[in-house]
Amino acid sequence: MASIAGLRQRMRDVYPGWWVIGACCFLALFPGAIFSYGFPVFYIPIRDELMLTDTQVSLIFALSRGEAGVGGPLVGWMVDRFDSRPIVLVFGIMSGVGLIILAGVDGYWLFVLIYVGVVSVGNNSGFGQTFLAVTNRWFVRRRAVGMTLVITCYTVGGAMLIPVLSRGVDAIGWRDVMLYAGIFVVAVVIPFALLIRRSPESMGIDLAEVGEAVEQTSPGAAASSAQSSGRDFTVREALRTPTYWFILLASAFRISVTSGILVHAIPIMVWKGTSEQTGADLMAMLFFVSIPARLLIGFSGLRLPGQGVLGIGMAIGAVSLLALDLVAGVWIIFPFVAGLAILEGASVLNWVLVGNIFGRRSFATLTGIISVFYSAGMMLSPLFLGWMVDRTGGYTESLLVLAGLYAVSALLFAIARQPRGAGPAPQPAR
């Protein structure tokens, strides 16, 4: 009995932010991964059953990304202003119900309407920037650790679910898999969303007392992934800094290119000579390899400058994409997977960098503005790849363009520096 009492006491002594992070991680691990990484498994089956062109299938994913851009600032404003729990709960259930409905849809335009207007709205609002905003509120000193864990869980979920979803599609068809996935999403969202709390201040917790506050750095110092500027920028102040726009454009190019590659990953690997199932397994391998890369780079970000790590990661991604495009043979897929895994590992510092430089108060709004730009790219990137396949029969020219955008992203991340202008003193995030 004494040991049980001691265990209960230790659990009560755990910083509540870790319980919040745990809930976000679980929701990222399964429901989030279904939408973020698992949906390309349905690309070829949907195309073949509905007798669509690659452009038409790509348009489904493209409009979904466009919706995220339109809704991003609104979602960011809601997360900054209101409690995150009902946002995750309502929109998470919405995404699951959308999958259930989608499983019975036959017409192309009705499919587009349900996927974009129900599934995507629910996913982008419930499982997207909301988790990062919650993490940014609960952690300052250990922000890199918290965000690394949440973002990595998406990757872990993708690595686990892609082979399962792919084999499920082969065994029972994509419609039944989508139906069961929707039921699963609804079933897990309800209990785990209830564990999410808005902020430590809303629970009467002082960040300084729990060891999360950090000492203020000098205004001219370069922000690393380990340090916060110690100030909370308003949205207007952040928009006036070149640093914010460097990060915005670099993020937009990074996410846009990666989105296009992931949507078309299995068709690209089939184009290089693999089967669909092998392509799905190689996608899973990409996510498995990126897990230690994310953890290593994310935790090393406690000491390394995030701008430099991101710049190097994007450069490696550009070289890997060029190699995949220009080198013949199936074997080149493996170094491409390794290079993209490093890029994905570095990307974990992207949002850590935003939080470190611009603070906690307007984080969701600032990332929501960034989402407008990267969502436009996420919409155009898969659509561009699909159009080029219909036009040329392959990916050679389009992958050259995407490699160039990765290179531009690397440069922009490398030149982003801590703004010299000072924001106001930090305000409680209630």
Q: What is the DSSP string of 195-222?
A: T--S-TGGGT--TTTTT---PPPPTTSP
In the chain, which residues have pLDDT < 50? 215-227, 422-430
pLDDT of residue 344: 81
Q: CA 39, CA 383: separation in Å to the nearest integer?
A: 16
pLDDT of residue 329: 85
pLDDT mean across residues, the chain: 81
Structural domains of the chain sorted by starting position, each given as residue range(s) with its CATH number in brackets: 16-201+223-415 (1.20.1250.20)
pLDDT of residue 422: 45
Tell me which residue of 317, 309, 296, 302 sits closest to 414, measured CA to CA. Answer: 309
pLDDT of residue 283: 81
pLDDT of residue 94: 94
Tokens of 1: 């009995």
- Buried/exposed code over 26-36 (b: 16+ C-beta within 10 A; e: otherwise): bbbbbbbbbbb
pLDDT of residue 382: 87
pLDDT of residue 226: 42
pLDDT of residue 428: 41
pLDDT of residue 13: 64
Angle at 54 between CA 53 and CA 58, to 5 degrees: 120
pLDDT of residue 145: 81
> 35 with 95: CB under 8 angstroms?
yes
pLDDT of residue 40: 77
